[in-house]
Amino acid sequence: MSKPVILLDPHPRLRERIFDAGQWQRLNELADVIEDAAAPIPDAVVERWLPEAVAIIGQTPLPAERIARAPKLRALINVEGNFYQNVDYLACFARGISVLSIAPAFAVPVAEMSLALALDLARGVTTADASVRAGGELYGSAGNAGAVLLSGARVGIIGYGNIGRALHKLLAGFSAQVQIHDPWLPDNVLREEQAEPVSLETLLLSSQVIFILAGVTSENQGFLGQRELELIAPDSIVVLASRAGVIDFDAFADLAEAGRFRAATDVFPTEPLPADSPIRRSRLLLSPHRAGGMPAAMRAIGEMVLDDLGLILRGLPPVRLQPARRETILKLRSPPAQSYAKPVIAKTA
Amino acid sequence: MSKPVILLDPHPRLRERIFDAGQWQRLNELADVIEDAAAPIPDAVVERWLPEAVAIIGQTPLPAERIARAPKLRALINVEGNFYQNVDYLACFARGISVLSIAPAFAVPVAEMSLALALDLARGVTTADASVRAGGELYGSAGNAGAVLLSGARVGIIGYGNIGRALHKLLAGFSAQVQIHDPWLPDNVLREEQAEPVSLETLLLSSQVIFILAGVTSENQGFLGQRELELIAPDSIVVLASRAGVIDFDAFADLAEAGRFRAATDVFPTEPLPADSPIRRSRLLLSPHRAGGMPAAMRAIGEMVLDDLGLILRGLPPVRLQPARRETILKLRSPPAQSYAKPVIAKTA
Amino acid sequence: MSKPVILLDPHPRLRERIFDAGQWQRLNELADVIEDAAAPIPDAVVERWLPEAVAIIGQTPLPAERIARAPKLRALINVEGNFYQNVDYLACFARGISVLSIAPAFAVPVAEMSLALALDLARGVTTADASVRAGGELYGSAGNAGAVLLSGARVGIIGYGNIGRALHKLLAGFSAQVQIHDPWLPDNVLREEQAEPVSLETLLLSSQVIFILAGVTSENQGFLGQRELELIAPDSIVVLASRAGVIDFDAFADLAEAGRFRAATDVFPTEPLPADSPIRRSRLLLSPHRAGGMPAAMRAIGEMVLDDLGLILRGLPPVRLQPARRETILKLRSPPAQSYAKPVIAKTA
Amino acid sequence: MSKPVILLDPHPRLRERIFDAGQWQRLNELADVIEDAAAPIPDAVVERWLPEAVAIIGQTPLPAERIARAPKLRALINVEGNFYQNVDYLACFARGISVLSIAPAFAVPVAEMSLALALDLARGVTTADASVRAGGELYGSAGNAGAVLLSGARVGIIGYGNIGRALHKLLAGFSAQVQIHDPWLPDNVLREEQAEPVSLETLLLSSQVIFILAGVTSENQGFLGQRELELIAPDSIVVLASRAGVIDFDAFADLAEAGRFRAATDVFPTEPLPADSPIRRSRLLLSPHRAGGMPAAMRAIGEMVLDDLGLILRGLPPVRLQPARRETILKLRSPPAQSYAKPVIAKTA
């Protein structure tokens, strides 16, 4: 074998979902790709190829011993989107192994869905459609009492990572006054992006539209508690599109139900939502975790992985996937989604 | 009286809806405002004040004889949004009377609603919400088979007036490939706005997302017939947000029902929609004419009227309201909405 | 003759300069074009064709009597860029004749030159080049004591017509804080364009970079007098790119010479500048009226005229050329440039 | 001492130039800052504080032995702008020490200067100013034969690092067709930024305006040789703003002198330029290395260092300074400027 060896272990994703035919061909031109019918890939196969592998694509457990047995390894590419705590990341960093995530592939999909949900709440799209189906709908201004514009609105973004940035870009044409809270970023970074850095409290008190886009870390679980949610201005629009773990979900649902603000969510404390969950009959606009995992995101994963592998194999730094940062990777807590191989369907009794 | 006289005859709109308290005060500082408890304003009142009026705000009938009796008249401001054919517009132009419309106040509201409807169709927001309420919803990629992005999509805009321009601006952050068809505009105008001018046929054949934003004229009624609608690429997204009169609505609904494309509409051939209309149970995403008439539009009307009246009274040209054009005003056919003074509610037996 | 007749009288411009070969052919396809070897076109020729002409391209004198003898006339297109006071414009308006100017063709050229001059002053481009030629130049930060950025600067624009808008667009990537003074525009118009409306005094006191882009009217001649110019913040950058008539040019030059601010000008009270003018040896950055009249502007003139004639002949409103406004046309005083047919060269004894 | 210790060794920069009074105070609040009257800081001082230092700000030599003696070291911050090859960078990476550069502080300054030089060449600002001083200047279109617009032009950017990105942003309002060549970036990255990725050859052949912004590496020295420069389209505009080492400077100057293209340069093979260099009398537009080192850049250095130190001391990843990449740091060859402490002045006999 003269081509570099890559170990492909994408479980819980399916190879066919992240590489289309053309991408798969390009990958095989770049490298000898080791796969296995079993998913995840069996330990024996991992052990067999560790000494040869230049890159691992997947969520394979990599304790320090395995890393020590992989002298050629230059990149570990998570294709799930959340870093698992099953790798000795510090050993990777010490060795100069790039630890990369395909999370950026979901940024635009989640941002567009977040905007879709906010616009729906702003204009009552879903409820108006239902009213026409039920009959007795109100036309024109008679039905628009609560309708608001995003254009010119004060928009608050909580968490300015990939998704926050993608959403900010989508808002370019809205002349919105964007204020951002992200405790991991200096104010100057936000000002350079023409946004106003604000405290969480200011953001909650003064935003007309709030996007909650922060991932879960060991430090921020449930940071949007009852007290914080009660700061939200009456009749605001609140979209939760990152992880249920950052919020007191019951308080969130209760306040929405009470009409304190209008809210939409793409995530739930347990997924699928229990068949008898009262959330199913609530005033929340409900999206069953569909913000990210769409066909365009899958195509983007394939492109990003191929682009960065191409660079890495040429001895250049990767530029498209998200590199893990030594300082934060051990703090990340966003859970992977539950299953990718077969449809996740809510069962209702 | 030392202040100029303005005749206010906003029917079918209500004065309170188009001027809030602050705006109403500003208007009264600018001029002596003549109103009447009756709406529309009685002929006798019109006749009494014609010799004094510097501006008329409203849809008062103005045949040539009345114009001749209004020597001070400098502006006629339609606050309904559609030019009625009850004015001798050519006589106004000959006299140098500015004929103005508040239509631009609806541009951003309709554009945001159009985008909201397109994003809903692209991501299945309304149907997903309904599925969670019904139970058995599909999570994540399992439910996203048909999900598409607007970012990077080929977007076609039919009709590039106020609304088309506002929508184009909203799309600034979407990196979309925008192609526009507007037979009243030279190609260079569209190219200067970074859009591609295309024929109607090319637009229909090649767009992934189509916005129908053309008003009705004497020349274009029903120009989107069965033949044209069948050109639309399979599974495209089609949003109708201007007037039902430009389209063969039955063909539109039938093709959407057959799954040829995904479609949303804010307008209907008759409004309210008949109680037994099959449209109510169709696959169309249904919005009961709510795109324009929202509170923000009403506030904008007041601002625009005040700004332009201020200029006119200073001897300067108006810049915010839309001036009627001699060449086209007699061709305009977009009907006014049916009523503004009281809620329009669909009655269901 | 079955095609419509157009009278072409472009003097002081030359036909060859405003229509290239392809444009000339397109014009002749649209219409029968009447020219004459003499420039301006002789009265007899004008009189001969007045009864037939649908449009006049040029600065032909048109008193009311001539307009009365031109029953088919629908457009009068000034190709010089400044409306001459040799037309009975009110008679044109009464007849519904479109009075149009090619001024917009100069907007981007003048805006780019204005930016070029501002950047030159901000960074000392011209003086640094001269210093290297003379020897003894300072390198790097040693030579950069006065260097400033436009990015993030507070930029003031005086006059928000075609040029001001074009410049504002050019500044899109500079994250500048743009404040505008234009007494003919309501504040809301400027706010909608993401600029801050300010008084002239505030603009002069607080801007780091000032662009003077206002045309001359009967009301604003010399409005930037000694008193106003002294308000300008020390060491600011001031670019004069519209007309010398709006400013006390001597005070402007004196203050620049005294080092109060850095200044550039594209226009002069008399052009060519007298051979012995002290301005030639001043600290002003000097541009001999080259901001507008460049090849790209000439091509744009041809395109704009053809586009709008095409619309007018189809019975549609023109959209590219600038329509004269009844309220302001009699106030315009920007003088035409002196000659176009042969080079204007400063003679130095 | 309870605050963390930072070693400050900015030579050849001066501390006062990179931290203004307020920034200096903020730095001292963050840490105990060790300085020395001697510059660079004496070895003994370095050795004394290595065991304590959490960060080193400066270009201190750091062989592996020193790194081994610095157990608390978390960041090495180059404030010169070019990575010196006097550090065992791989040892830093193995230890997880962030290696950072203030190069981004120069991005906007160099980009604005590049644009200033391009606009000067496009419009002849410097030569026109000289012509007015000399007398006999040509006015208006007579002097504009070679004038071109950047708006709408095909612009080629060679090297898409900090400066290239900053320039691309500045061009946002120019509706330019931007094509980029950067062999370290996948095509998809450039497409996502709305630019067209092209080969070097295509860029040189087809661009109307070319910006050379690539730094020098061990692999690209002199990659713009005689053969490549001859590909440049006649009369194009070429701006060299990165390093003279990437180009065959003699060929560049000769071709510009021969009128093949218009060219400007901010850098020279030797600086200061020899007093008798023929470049001083050439047709090149000459800028004595002033693109980057301006006051705004110095202020930005201080801000960026403070922001990232603040994050590092909180255990968070730096986000403003440019992190060295393991794959490329050993290839970098851009030389530091010669001196910062005292003015660099060309001596002319």
pLDDT at position A349: 53
Edge-first strand order for the sheet with D53-58 is D32-34, D5-9, D53-58, D75-78, D98-101, D322-323
Mutate to test the interface with B, among C327, C331, C332 (most CBs of B within 10 A): C327
State which of D267, D286, D305 marks the end of a domain. D286
Cβ neighbourhood burial of D21 (10 Å; 0-12, 13-18, 19+) = exposed
Residues B247 and B219 in one domain: yes
Minimum-distance CB partner of C320 among B186, B308, B326: B186
Q: Is residue D74 part of a domain?
A: yes
Task: Indicate which of A175, A178, A189, A193 best probes the interface with C, i.e. most C CBs within 10 Å of its own CB.
Answer: A175
- Which residues of D24-120 form beta strands (DSSP E)? 32-34, 53-58, 75-78, 98-101
Q: Which residues of A34-46 are buried (b: 16+ CB within 10 A; e: fewer)?
A: bbeeebbbeeebb
Per DSSP, the residues of C40-94 read SPPHHHHHHHTTTEEEEEE---B-HHHHHT-TT--EEEE-SSS--S-B-HHHHHH
Region A145-171: what's the mean pLDDT?
Answer: 98
Residues of C with CB under 8 A from a CB of A: 175, 192, 194
What's the confidence (pLDDT) of residue A348? 66
Same domain, B155 and B267: yes
Which pLDDT tens digit goes with each residue over A258-291? 999 999 999 999 999 999 999 999 999 999 999 9
Burial class (CB in 10 A: 0-12, 13-18, 19+), C237: buried
CA dist list (Å): A65 to A36, A47, A71, A97, D125: 22, 11, 11, 15, 66
Supply the pLDDT for residue C349.
52
Residues B237 and B318 in one domain: no
Q: Which chains touch A (3 or more CB pairs under 8 A)?
A: B, C, D
Report chain D residues whose CB lies below 8 A from the CB of C122.
Answer: 112, 116
Alpha carbons within 13 A on the beta-carbon side of D67:
21
Q: What is the pLDDT of residue C335?
A: 72
Place of tokens 């206010």: B8
Same domain, B254 and B301: no
Non-local (6+) Cβ contacts of D302 within 8 A are D18, D19, D20, D23
Measured between CA atoms, the residue of chain A closest to residue B153 is A296
Instruction: Determine the 3-state secondary structure of A49 from DSSP.
Output: helix
Does one domain contain both B233 and B184?
yes
pLDDT in single tens digits along all 349 residues of chain B: 589 999 999 999 999 999 999 999 999 999 999 999 999 999 999 999 999 999 999 999 999 999 999 999 999 999 999 999 899 999 999 999 999 999 999 999 999 999 999 999 999 999 999 999 999 999 999 999 999 999 999 999 999 999 999 999 999 999 999 999 999 999 999 999 999 999 999 999 999 999 999 999 989 999 999 999 999 999 999 999 999 999 999 999 999 999 999 999 999 999 999 999 999 999 999 999 999 999 999 999 999 999 999 999 999 999 999 999 999 998 888 776 554 556 788 876 5
Query: What ranges in B146-294 are assigned the alpha helix state H?
Result: 162-170, 187-192, 200-206, 226-229, 249-257
As a whole number, the mean pLDDT across chain A is 95
Contact A126 B122 (CB under 8 A): no
C192: closest CA of chain A, how far (Å):
8
Please check whether residue B338 lies inside any domain of the structure. Answer: no
Chain D contact probe: residue of B151, B175, B177, B193 with most D CBs at under 10 A: B175
Closest residue in chain C to residue A193, using alpha carbons only: C175
SS3 B75: strand
Signed CA dihedral, B241, B245, B247, B248: sign only? positive
φ/ψ (deg, to 5) at D119: -65, -35
Q: Which residue of C has its CA nearest to A177?
A: C194
pLDDT over 80 (residue D163) = yes
Question: How far apart are alpha carbons D213 and D182 in whole angstroms?
Answer: 10
Q: Is residue C340 part of a domain?
A: no
> Does C328 sit within 8 Å of B316, measured CB to CB?
yes
Mean pLDDT value across residues D104-116: 98
pLDDT value, residue C337: 56
Do the chains contact at D135 and C346, CB–CB below 8 Å?
yes
* Six token digits for residue D116: 């200033």
Q: Is D337 part of a structural domain of the chain?
A: no
**H-helix segments, chain B:** 15-18, 21-30, 43-49, 64-68, 89-95, 107-123, 125-134, 162-170, 187-192, 200-206, 226-229, 249-257, 295-313
Q: Nearest CB to C132: which of D172, D173, D273?
A: D273
pLDDT recorded at residue C338: 52
Residue A349 lies in a domain: no
Q: In D, what residues contact B, Cβ < 8 A? A: 175, 192, 194
The verdict on a CB contact (< 8 Å) between B307 and C189 is: yes
Query: Residue B145's domain spans which residues?
Result: 106-286
* Angle at D249 (CA atoms; ends D244, D250), nearest 5 degrees: 160
- D339 in any annotated domain: no
Q: C40 preceded by cis ω (within 30°)? A: yes
Domain count, chain A: 2
Q: Nearest CA to B220 among B254, B184, B178, B190?
A: B184
Helix (H) or strand (E) holding C298, with range, is helix C295-313
For chain C, where are the E strands, in sequence order?
5-9, 32-34, 53-58, 75-78, 98-101, 138-139, 154-158, 177-181, 196-197, 209-212, 237-240, 262-265, 285-286, 322-323, 344-345
The CA–CA distances, whole Å, from A178 to A239, B132, D173 equal: 15, 32, 21
**Phi, psi (degrees; rounded to nearest 5) at C249:** -65, -35
Same domain, D181 and D236: yes
Give C188's contacts in chain B (Cβ within 8 Å): 303-304, 307, 320
Task: Report the distance separating Cα A168 and Cα A178, nearest Å.
Answer: 8
- CA angle C90-C92-C97, nearest 5°? 145
Half-sphere exposure of residue C149: CA atoms within 13 angstroms, side-chain side: 28
HSE, CB side, 13 Å, CA atoms: give it for residue D270: 8
| C192 located within any domain | yes
**Both A325 and A267 in a single domain?**
no
pLDDT score recorded for residue D332: 86
* A145·B295 Cβ contact <8 A: yes
Q: In this structure, are residues B78 and B100 in contact, taking their beta carbons and an 8 Å threshold?
A: yes
Phi, psi (deg, nearest 5) at residue A184: -95, 0
CA nearest D285: which of B133, C123, B209, A307? Answer: C123
* Whether residue D144 sits in one domain with residue D39: no
Quote the strand ranges of chain A, DSSP E.
Answer: 5-9, 32-34, 53-58, 75-78, 98-101, 138-139, 154-158, 177-181, 196-197, 209-212, 237-240, 262-265, 285-286, 322-323, 344-345
- State the CATH number of the domain containing residue B37: 3.40.50.720
Interface of D with A (CB under 8 A): 90, 93-96, 184-186, 188-189, 303-304, 307-308, 310-311, 315-317, 319-320, 325-328
pLDDT attached to residue D148: 98
Closest by alpha carbon to C202, among C222, C175, C224, C232?
C232
By DSSP bridging, strand A5-9 and strand A53-58 are parallel
Positive or negative: CA dihedral B328, B330, B335, B341: positive
Task: For chain D, give the mean pLDDT.
Answer: 95
In one letter, which amino acid is D27? L
DSSP state at residue A87: B
**Host H or E run for residue B77:** strand B75-78
Which of A263, A286, A309 marks a domain boundary?
A286
Q: Would you give per-residue pLDDT tens digits along chain C (349 residues)?
A: 589 999 999 999 999 999 999 999 999 999 999 999 999 999 999 999 999 999 999 999 999 999 999 999 999 999 999 999 899 999 999 999 999 999 999 999 999 999 999 999 999 999 999 999 999 999 999 999 999 999 999 999 999 999 999 999 999 999 999 999 999 999 999 999 999 999 999 999 999 999 999 999 989 999 999 999 999 999 999 999 999 999 999 999 999 999 999 999 999 999 999 999 999 999 999 999 999 999 999 999 999 999 999 999 999 999 999 999 999 998 888 776 554 556 788 876 5
The H or E element spanning position B78 is: strand B75-78
Of C143, C273, C340, the CB nearest to D288: C143
Which residues of C are less than 8 Å from B107 in CB distance?
none
CA closest to A318 among chain D residues? D185
Q: Please give the Cα distance from C144 to D288 (Å, whole number).
A: 10
The contacts of residue B37 (CB under 8 Å, 6+ apart) are none
SS3 A7: strand
The answer to whether position D344 is within a domain reads: no
Class of residue C145 by CB neighbours under 10 A (exposed 0-12, middle 13-18, buried 19+): exposed
- Say if the Cβ atoms of D325 and A303 lie within 8 Å: no
Provide the b/e sequence for B15-40 (b: ≥16 CB within 10 Å): bebbbeeebbebbeebbebbbeeebb
The amino acid sitting at B256 is: A
Q: Within this chain, do residues D317 and D229 fall inside the same structural domain, yes or no?
A: no
Q: Are residues B175 and B245 in the same domain?
A: yes
Preceding peptide of B272 cis, ω within 30°: yes
Mean pLDDT of A36-63: 97
List CB contacts (< 8 A) between B194 and chain D.
175
**What pLDDT does residue D347 have?**
76
Same structural domain, C149 and C220? yes
3-state secondary structure of A94: helix
DSSP designation for A52? T
pLDDT of residue B348: 66
According to DSSP, residue B252 is labeled: H
User: Which residue spans within D44-151 are E strands per DSSP?
Assistant: 53-58, 75-78, 98-101, 138-139
Distance (Å) from the C-alpha of residue D269 to the closest C-alpha of chain B? 41
Residue among D141, D280, D346 whose CB faces C340 most closely: D141
Asked if the interface predicted TM-score (ipTM) of this complex is over 0.90, the answer is yes
CB atoms < 10 A from the CB of D339, how many?
12
CB contact under 8 A, A93 and D96: yes
How many CB atoms lie under 10 A from the CB of residue C334? 17
Domain match, B178 and B324 both:
no
Whether residue D12 is preceded by a cis peptide bond, meaning omega within 30 degrees of 0, is: yes
**Cβ <8 Å between D327 and A317:** yes
Mark yes or no for CB contact D316/A327 under 8 Å.
yes
Smallest CA–CA distance from D167 into chain C, residue: C173
Cβ contact (<8 Å) for A186 and D307? yes
Res D338 pLDDT > 60: no
CA distance A122 to A149: 7
Question: How far apart are alpha carbons D100 and D79 in whole angstroms?
Answer: 9
